[in-house]
Structure 1
Amino acid sequence: MSENKAGSSWAPWPVWLIVVLMVIGGGYLLYGGIQLIFLGGSWYFAPTGAALLLSAYLVARRNVQGLYIFLVVFAVSIAWSLWEVGVQFWPLVSRLVAPAVLGLLLFLAAPALTRGGRRISRGTSLAAVAVLLVGLGATGYRAFQPVPYVAATSEPEVIAQNVDAPSDWQHYGRTGHGTRYAPDTQITTDNVKDLQVAWTYRHGDVPLDPRGVGANDQNTPIQIGDTVYACTVRNVVHALDADTGDERWSFDPKAESPLWQRCRSVSYFESTGQISAGLQTIRAQEVAAEAARQAQDAAEASEENADVEDGAAETVDAPAAPAEEVQASSEAICQRRIVMTTIDARLISLDADTGAVCTQFGDNGTVDLKIGMGEVRPGFYFQTSAPTVANGIIVIGGWVVDNVAVGLPSGVVRGFDAETGELVWAWDLGNPDITRFPPEGETYTRGTPNVWSTPAFDAELGLVYLPTGNATPDFFGGHRRDFDEEYTSAVVALDIQTGRERWHFRTVNHDLWDYDVPSQPALYDLPDGSGGSQAALIQTTKRGQIFVLDRATGEPIFDVEEKAVPQGAAEGDWTAPTQPYSVGMPAIGVDLLTEARMWGATPFDQLYCRIEFRKLRYDGDFTPPGLDASLQWPGFFGGMNWGSSSIHEPTGYLVFNDTRSPHRIQLVPREIADNADAASSHEGLSGQLGTPYGAAKVTFMSPLGVPCQEPPYGTMTAIDLKTQKIAWQVPLGTVEDNGPLGIKMGLSMPIGMPTVGGPVTTASGLVFYSGTLDQNIRAFDLATGKEVWKHRLPAGTQVTPLVYTSPKTGRQYVVVSAGGSRASDVRGDYIIAFALPQ
């Protein structure tokens, strides 16, 4: 019986399991490889699949030649991989790990292969298995090492000595300059490892969203003195003791929205009892106008009723403006105020000490931001970002739902007096003649580019800087007006007191890609090379381009060039012949995609991505959308997004996170688009009503739910503004909580994942960041980008951390709001503070 088994021409059943894997894999590679060849792609996969099928057949027949054929395939795969991608780690993993595992299994089965030539001895087989295990083990070890993409080669040089002392975090970006730089020194690179939870506050407003349309905790609290102020997705504001986290008060505005729910921050204003210069001017003009009217009436009455001698008429002096007309209420209540907006478009002022509504503000504490807007469907217009309080003016823009229709609410930006809530000015880019309210019976110009992100301001120059989006919808622009084109995806400088434009700089021409300017501008004084400084504005973009402008004039400080881009818009639209590129600064995550850059956890999903890549129309940057599916890279999630950047002010290091996530875009005929869901403003099918086409949008991913291009999918980068060079760049985030198919892998493998939120830098040389897809907050060494601390959170975050030093205890805190990451079903209601042990 033993002799009969030994003489059988078919392999034993354990070997058949290997054969089945080879047949499935080889068949898929052959079938998909033939498709790829016909699409003009690589010839590697089809011959490899055919060779695997032949190898499988021979192995099934116990023929050792099957193993030799596989070894040839493996050797060719190694050579091909090195030729195509060099020694890049993650691209080689995609190509070679699966063949190596298959080779290990075949060598384990090798002693059973008794036919067709010289047999492989058990010792040789085990030696080969050992070699492959060592290689796979080394690969596994390397996969867990946070190797930088750009390694630091020098220490940052201190270029600014006048560093501020620790003080309040009053604005979303800490100051109106939006640098997110905390001048705190207690927590250092040496002791950061000792950070521990100091307090936890649970507010109860968990961002649950069964429809998946936008309940996201994106809050960065602010800190004023010994109090921290945080807001939740439904705009409930909580005042907390800065040292204990104990609640001092809370305020619920009872806000509702059927689409997005979020609150990125609140703002602070300290009343002086004096209304703004802009409102003083308006009041004086109104008094003068009334005086002129009274004088005219008196003159007319005098002509009719009084005796006039020698044709002379009395002159009526205009009454002087009473003092109280230019003074705000001096009530003691609400000297310190929290200024907030809501998801149903209201502006509210609260007493920072008690949470009571400031009744002298607006209409009993509230201003209706829908006034002058015309029709506003619920959820179609509101403020996602914090109001900007600058020089006594509250500057308010607003988010307008994307991609639903033309003629949506206006992108008007308005300035309200911080004392009274009165409208001081309006900047309606479609009608500059409207400086406050629209004429009776009219509205602010509908459908204009809006300002949904956070402005920055320079109090000395008296300018506020607005990052604009584009006129809705995003992916068709044939209907847009000249003023829409002029201000699309731009930075606009307005006079804070009057709202009149000083300058604007456009970052995209005729934007058809949803490349709004999403980040708050960062204001910083650059060395001018002659011992002085130049007032600069640094603007990061979804495109991965970083524009550096003179903030007084808007002229580029570092070179910007207009470059030719692909043409060929859909019927009824057009494409700009050129687009602006910031050639004087590094571009991040924008290298041209190629078939060779397609990736997958295995050669099989890599082949899928190659096929899909070849099916898409892709001509590089600014490939225009059309009726055939096209690839957009960078995608409309970024690049850099609303989390914005941080500037370490002593050294001039610009630090920011980015996302690398391409999109598949396709315009669809009107009859199909009419069935679109209004909630699908980003991913999915959007109606774009009022245009000839809807837009179908989806992230370009493999069947495993992994982006189709090679890693990283998110990085942290530091650029030395003094040299305009990348100082370091590291992968950001692991697959611990979000791997293939959304599986929580529990592996701290720093592949670099999509990011959200922003970083904070500190005077002691640390970078704090929490907006990864895994549930961690991290600290990095500013000099090298090396991770020096990590703490597991009960839920992920989408926020920028808050850093402050308590004025009462002198203890430094790092605070983060943990409500859950966008890609996870783990949600929470946590505000957590970290500090060194007492």
Structure 2
Amino acid sequence: MSIQNKPTGFSKYFIWLVALILLASGAFLFINGIRLIMVGGSWYFALMGIAMLFSSITLFMFKPIGAVVYGIAYALTIIWALIEVGLQFWPLFSRLAVFGGFAMLVAFAYPALILAKRREKSSGGYKLGGIIAVCLVIALGLMFTEHNTIYNSIQVQKNTLAAKDAPTDWQQYANTTKGTRFSGADQITKENINQLEVAWTYRTGYFPQSNGSGAEDQNTPLQINDTVYLCTANNVVIAIDADAGTEKWTYDPKTSVPNWQRCRGLAYHADSSNQKPSEPIELTPNATLTSACSSRIIMNTLDARLVAIDAQTGQLCDTFGDNGIVDLKKNMGDIPPGYYTITSAPLVADDVIVVGGRVADNFSVGEPGGVIRAFDVHTGQLVWAWDPGNPSITDVPPPGETYTRGTVNVWTTMAYDPDLDLIYAPTGNATPDFFGGLRTKYDDEYNSSIVALDRKTGQIRWSFRTAHHDLWDYDLPAQPLLYDIPDGNGGVQKAIIQTTKSGEIFMLDRATGTPLAKVEERPVPQGDVKGEYYAPTQPFSVEMPSIGNETLTEADMWGATPFDQLLCRIDFVGSEYQGLFTPPGMSKTLQYPGSLGGMNWGSVAVDPQTNIMYVNDMRIGLTNWMIPRADIPANASGIEMGIVPQTGTPFGAMRLRFMSPVGVPCQKPPYGTMTAIDLKSKQIVWQKPLGTVMDTGVFGIAMHMPIPIGMPTIGGPMTTKSGLVFFAATQDFYLRAFDSATGEEIWKARLPVGSQGTPMTYISPKTGKQYIVISAGGARQSPERGDYVIAYALPDKH
């Protein structure tokens, strides 16, 4: 009969430590693994928990069998992981790395167990532990390389650009009213971009604090002649010398709203014979427009005012509206503070200013309406109105009435085609978003639609709906791209390309609204909420790439560790989910993509030389469900997440991000990408993850490691004639430049804080120097805030 000897000294305490780790981990896996089995999920975690508990108990007893059992369990885990996810790096890392670390500890403990059991030395455990350690080091190293990339070999033919298609200033929010975000500036190239340096930094003095007010810096500046114009999140307009970065003037409208404070951009108009807004003004260097308000900056404010400012002096244009201001609250009815705010740049279309407005989603029915209005750019007089709830109202409502309450609205920036003289309005939903049982026929006709309006009259030429009876807040957030696609026969297809929160991209004929890329109506899941009705089908853009909206499975669940992955699996399997357009129900329902997208307000950029469009996305799900009216707390607001009241309907709704307990999205990476799409072939040229965990991580704590996992992005890209794509709106604090042909990151600059803005560029008419400008006020999920506007340029030649 052999006598079991006990290890002594360090070996004893090391084995106890390993046993304690396995005990705690095994108990967690077993308990929650049973929960997963009970909702119909995988048995793996409960079984692994049992193996770890057995190993722990036997290790406490200093029996080698505990190490052997864990080794067998880990070997089976490797097989299980390969069967479930194949050779995908991040899913394998989540399943194997932590358990691999435990295996290394068990292997290092094994020689002491053998010595105590048999009184003989064995170095096999040290060798195996060393091998595992090397594998873990390799895996850790692979974390710092890009995964989930796509590269396709597509023949790209370069087009010759006309001067009007390659402006070198930045006169409108997207550089042109067609939403191109393309610049003809080409001094900064792939070859010299590494020489870029900070040319100037301007501090606005306003730090947007996202402390419940929703204040965010999401600005894209303008540049006209020798001046850069920008707005802060509280609507202060600032004019800066384009070369020196010094302040020329400021205008403060003194806005005050309780939430959702942001100003994404401004608009510009200059008096010029036969001048079209999408064409650059031809001025010689140092020339100026001297007449009062002959050039004017247009801004709509958070508290619903339309303002015209002399671009030269910063003074209000007193012939516009009431001493420079038009009150957009007129004829709107009652507007509680924060219920009607305008955050996106207005559109200047020839001689009219076109504005929509953001309403406070999900507070109640009967909120302010989503009327679109056009005002004379010189006088501020109303030219026309499109009331989505009452087509007969084409200017002001009849006496005693208001624009229709609670209609669909346009909260993003619209686009304008000067040749067709059409304005393109991407609509949202009639509030509330998640219960539509009380919506009107007009709400359903125009929700989540592209509506083409005649610039002169505001009459509808055509409309196209991207989601029927939208119950997901899949409103159209992005300015459309208007682009002429070569047809291969010497002509072009006049296209409008619209990105969506649902991850679909629609390509239509912008003269007629007819799809240029095939759209199919497909059956979608149906719900059972009392009083609700459901669209039997939804449109899918089957000939354009879908981005980040694949149907998830349990195997797609992910976590920084197997433990939070397990909790995500329980959440996923326990939720109602049947893929895209699963409607919210009375029990927990998963929506993927969530209400942030997919693609959001950052919109796209295009290179007209190659017909390639660049679009960034985010991949964050949402869990939601209906809550009976009697159970809604009195203080429910849900400005971001939580319970939204939806007053006036039978139900409120709960909204929660589909995240693990440590603050990581529950599905596998990436969580944000940049995709290059050839508009001729409608194929992806390349796709790559965007952003690292340098400045964020689990529990929101910065990991300070450049791991390119691909983080949620908000903001937009910008591209240049020299073959560069610039982007800044990741969760880390960088402005990056990519090779537009391959997606290779070829330059990045560290920012003092993160950015949610879209980069812009211009060539100074004074010095002939090209600048890249970015506004940096803080990344969306970071507490670090700033007030920076930074310009980069090549060094002067001496």
Q: Equivalent residue for 2:88?
A: 88
Residues 773-809 of structure 1: CA deviation (Å, up to 9, x unaligned): 1111111111111111111111111110111111111
How many residues align? The count is 781
Letter in 2 for 1:823: Q
Deviation at 1:116? 9.0
Return the match for 1:614 from 566, 570, 573.
573
Alpha-carbon distance between aligned partners in 2 of 1:121 and 1:573, rounded to the nearest angstrom: 72
Residues 202-233 of structure 1: CA deviation (Å, up to 9, x unaligned): 010110243x2310000000110111000001
1:7 to 1:630, Cα distance in 2 relative to 1, 3 A: closer
Alpha-carbon distance between aligned partners in 2 of 1:473 and 1:73, rounded to the nearest angstrom: 50
- Whether the 8 Å CA contact 1:110–1:120 is kept in 2: the answer is no
Alpha-carbon distance between aligned partners in 2 of 1:364 and 1:7, rounded to the nearest angstrom: 89
Deviation at 1:836? 1.1
Residues 301-346 of structure 1: CA deviation (Å, up to 9, x unaligned): xxxxxxxxxxxxxxxxxxxxxxxxxxxxx99311010011111100
Q: Equivalent residue for 1:408?
A: 367
Q: Equivalent residue for 1:671?
A: 630
1:358 to 1:114, Cα distance in 2 relative to 1, 3 A: same
Q: Equivalent residue for 1:67?
A: 67
Alpha-carbon distance between aligned partners in 1 of 2:789 and 2:640, rounded to the nearest angstrom: 28
Q: Counterparts in 2 of 1:421-570, with a 5 A limit?
A: 421-570=380-529
- Whether the 8 Å CA contact 1:178–1:522 is kept in 2: the answer is yes
- Whether the 8 Å CA contact 1:347–1:366 is kept in 2: the answer is yes
Return the match for 1:766 from 718, 721, 724.
724
Alpha-carbon distance between aligned partners in 1 of 2:268 and 2:225, rounded to the nearest angstrom: 12
- Whether the 8 Å CA contact 2:166–2:721 is kept in 1: the answer is no
Q: Equivalent residue for 2:597?
A: 638
Q: Counterparts in 2 of 1:95-134, with a 5 A limit?
A: 95-114=95-114, 121-134=121-134
Q: Equivalent residue for 1:224?
A: 224
Alpha-carbon distance between aligned partners in 2 of 1:394 and 1:773, rounded to the nearest angstrom: 34
Letter in 2 for 1:423: L
Alpha-carbon distance between aligned partners in 1 of 2:6 and 2:600, rounded to the nearest angstrom: 66
Residue 801 in 1 paired to residue 759 in 2?
A: yes
Alpha-carbon distance between aligned partners in 2 of 1:214 and 1:479, rounded to the nearest angstrom: 29
Is 127-136 or 654-663 further displaced after alignment?
127-136
Letter in 2 for 1:170: Q
Return the match for 1:378 from 311, 332, 337.
337
Q: Equivalent residue for 1:204?
A: 205
What secondary structure, in the 3-state scheme, does the structure 1 residue paired with 2:150 have? coil
Residues 634-688 of structure 1: CA deviation (Å, up to 9, x unaligned): 111000000001111111111011000000001111022252433x234111100
If the length of structure 1 is used for normalisation, what is the TM-score?
A: 0.91
- Whether the 8 Å CA contact 2:303–2:340 is kept in 1: the answer is yes
1:273 to 1:258, Cα distance in 2 relative to 1, 3 A: farther
What secondary structure, in the 3-state scheme, does the structure 1 residue paired with 2:243 have? coil
- Whether the 8 Å CA contact 1:676–1:685 is kept in 2: the answer is no
Deviation at 1:160? 4.6
Q: Equivalent residue for 2:794?
A: 836
Alpha-carbon distance between aligned partners in 1 of 2:621 and 2:685, rounded to the nearest angstrom: 26
Alpha-carbon distance between aligned partners in 2 of 1:686 and 1:4, rounded to the nearest angstrom: 64
Residue 240 in 1 paired to residue 240 in 2?
A: yes
Residue 748 in 1 paired to residue 749 in 2?
A: no
Alpha-carbon distance between aligned partners in 2 of 1:501 and 1:4, rounded to the nearest angstrom: 88
Instruction: Please list every run of 5 or more consecutive structure 2 residues that lacks an aligned counterpart in the other structure.
Output: 277-288
Deviation at 1:119? 8.2
Q: Equivalent residue for 2:284?
A: none
What secondary structure, in the 3-state scheme, does the structure 2 residue paired with 1:567 have? coil
Q: Equivalent residue for 1:168?
A: 169
What secondary structure, in the 3-state scheme, does the structure 2 residue paired with 1:604 have? helix
Deviation at 1:111? 1.8
Q: Equivalent residue for 1:20?
A: 20
Q: Equivalent residue for 1:157?
A: 157
Letter in 1 for 2:41: G
Residue 790 in 1 paired to residue 748 in 2?
A: yes
Residues 365-421 of structure 1: CA deviation (Å, up to 9, x unaligned): 100000110111111112110110001010010000100000000100000000110
Q: Equivalent residue for 1:56?
A: 56
- The structure with more radius of gyration: 1
- Whether the 8 Å CA contact 2:166–2:182 is kept in 1: the answer is no
Alpha-carbon distance between aligned partners in 1 of 2:585 and 2:26, rounded to the nearest angstrom: 36
Letter in 1 for 2:225: G
- Whether the 8 Å CA contact 1:403–1:472 is kept in 2: the answer is yes
Return the match for 2:692 from 719, 734, 747.
734
Alpha-carbon distance between aligned partners in 1 of 2:115 and 2:586, rounded to the nearest angstrom: 57
Q: Equivalent residue for 1:177?
A: 178
- Whether the 8 Å CA contact 1:814–1:833 is kept in 2: the answer is yes
Residues 556-588 of structure 1: CA deviation (Å, up to 9, x unaligned): 001000000001241001110000000010100
Deviation at 1:155? 6.3
Q: Equivalent residue for 2:659?
A: 701
Q: Equivalent residue for 1:188?
A: 189
- Whether the 8 Å CA contact 1:30–1:45 is kept in 2: the answer is yes
- Whether the 8 Å CA contact 2:462–2:512 is kept in 1: the answer is yes
- Whether the 8 Å CA contact 1:274–1:419 is kept in 2: the answer is no
Letter in 2 for 1:610: R
Alpha-carbon distance between aligned partners in 2 of 1:537 and 1:120, rounded to the nearest angstrom: 77
- Whether the 8 Å CA contact 2:6–2:116 is kept in 1: the answer is no
Alpha-carbon distance between aligned partners in 2 of 1:159 and 1:349, rounded to the nearest angstrom: 38
Letter in 2 for 1:337: R
Alpha-carbon distance between aligned partners in 2 of 1:712 and 1:38, rounded to the nearest angstrom: 29
Deviation at 1:359? 0.2
Q: Equivalent residue for 2:785?
A: 827
- Whether the 8 Å CA contact 2:111–2:124 is kept in 1: the answer is no
Q: Equivalent residue for 2:318?
A: 359
- Whether the 8 Å CA contact 1:94–1:601 is kept in 2: the answer is yes
What secondary structure, in the 3-state scheme, does the structure 1 residue paired with 2:354 have? strand
Q: Counterparts in 2 of 1:332-351, with a 5 A limit?
A: 332-351=291-310
Residue 811 in 1 paired to residue 769 in 2?
A: yes
Deviation at 1:274? 10
- Whether the 8 Å CA contact 1:113–1:119 is kept in 2: the answer is no
Letter in 1 for 2:380: G
Letter in 2 for 1:481: T
Return the match for 1:778 from 736, 746, 750.
736
Deviation at 1:123? 3.1
**After the TM superposition, which segments of 4 or more aligned residues of structure 1 sit over 4 Å from their partners?**
3-11, 115-122, 272-276
Alpha-carbon distance between aligned partners in 2 of 1:526 and 1:120, rounded to the nearest angstrom: 77
Is 112-121 or 19-28 further displaced after alignment?
112-121
Is 522-531 or 330-339 further displaced after alignment?
330-339
Residue 266 in 1 paired to residue 224 in 2?
A: no
Deviation at 1:15? 1.3
Deviation at 1:153? 3.1
What secondary structure, in the 3-state scheme, does the structure 2 residue paired with 1:113 have? helix
Q: Equivalent residue for 2:286?
A: none
Letter in 2 for 1:335: S
- Whether the 8 Å CA contact 1:219–1:800 is kept in 2: the answer is yes
Deviation at 1:702? 0.9
Letter in 1 for 2:536: P
Letter in 2 for 1:763: K
Letter in 1 for 2:580: D
Alpha-carbon distance between aligned partners in 2 of 1:436 and 1:88, rounded to the nearest angstrom: 57
Instruction: Please list every run of 5 or more consecutive structure 1 residues that lacks an aligned counterpart in the other structure.
Output: 277-329
Q: Equivalent residue for 1:308?
A: none
Q: Equivalent residue for 1:398?
A: 357
Letter in 1 for 2:69: I
Letter in 1 for 2:606: I
What secondary structure, in the 3-state scheme, does the structure 2 residue paired with 1:659 have? coil
Letter in 2 for 1:779: A
- Whether the 8 Å CA contact 2:778–2:786 is kept in 1: the answer is yes
Alpha-carbon distance between aligned partners in 2 of 1:529 and 1:469, rounded to the nearest angstrom: 35
Residues 747-777 of structure 1: CA deviation (Å, up to 9, x unaligned): 1101011110000011111110000011111
Letter in 1 for 2:644: S
Letter in 2 for 1:351: D
Q: Equivalent residue for 1:716?
A: 674
Alpha-carbon distance between aligned partners in 2 of 1:273 and 1:223, rounded to the nearest angstrom: 21
If the length of structure 2 is used for normalisation, what is the TM-score?
A: 0.95
Deviation at 1:147? 3.6
What secondary structure, in the 3-state scheme, does the structure 2 residue paired with 1:230 have? strand
Q: Equivalent residue for 2:615?
A: 656
Alpha-carbon distance between aligned partners in 2 of 1:359 and 1:275, rounded to the nearest angstrom: 23
